[in-house]
Amino acid sequence: MKSFFREFLKRGFVSAWGGPVILAVIYYIVGRIEGIENLSVGEVSVGILSITVMAFIAGGITAIYQSEKIPVVSSALIHAAVLYLDYLIMYLMNDWIPKNAEALGIFTAIFAAGFAFIWLIIYLCSRRKIEDLNRLRKGKI
């Protein structure tokens, strides 16, 4: 368990720098577009802190896959649940999505579809690598 938290912190800190950088670029672009209202210093600060926390948690939770005691399917479900709660809580706290059933349903559907699509890509790529390794092991390459 100690190694999980160490790995969580390492991955979280590595991931956390990217969120604020991306948000700063988006804020810069938004600020350059005419007709778009400028954000206050407080809104920018809360946005940067929120994105940093989201990126830290999103990067850190990938350490769950390092545990050999947890099956991959369980790890994926834990990963999905933590990401979902991470994003949902931050989006609601910052009023980035409306607080109503329709918006939550749309958010949930988009999250589930995105997570499933990314896992499908990972699965297909992994399966192909395994097939290539098996052919190589059998001397068919």
Number of Cβ within a 10 Å radius of residue 97: 14
Structural domain harbouring 60: 2-137
Upper half-sphere CA count for residue 133 (Cβ side, 13 Å): 6
Rounded Cα distance between 99 and 92, Å, is 7
Alpha-carbon dihedral sign for residues 23, 25, 31, 33: negative
* Beta carbons within 8 Å of 138's beta carbon, 6+ residues apart: none
Percent of the chain residues topping a pLDDT of 90:
38
Q: How far apart are CA 56 and CA 18, in angstroms?
A: 9
Can you give the pLDDT at residue 68?
Answer: 76
- In degrees to the nearest 10, what's the CA dihedral of 20, 26, 32, 35? -120
The whole-number pLDDT of residue 14 equals 81
Say if residues 55 and 15 touch (Cβ distance below 8 Å).
yes
Summarised one tens digit per residue, pLDDT across range 63-104 is 898 877 889 889 999 999 999 999 999 999 998 899 999 999
Per the structure, how many domains does the chain have? 1
In the predicted model, residues of the chain with pLDDT beneath 50 are none
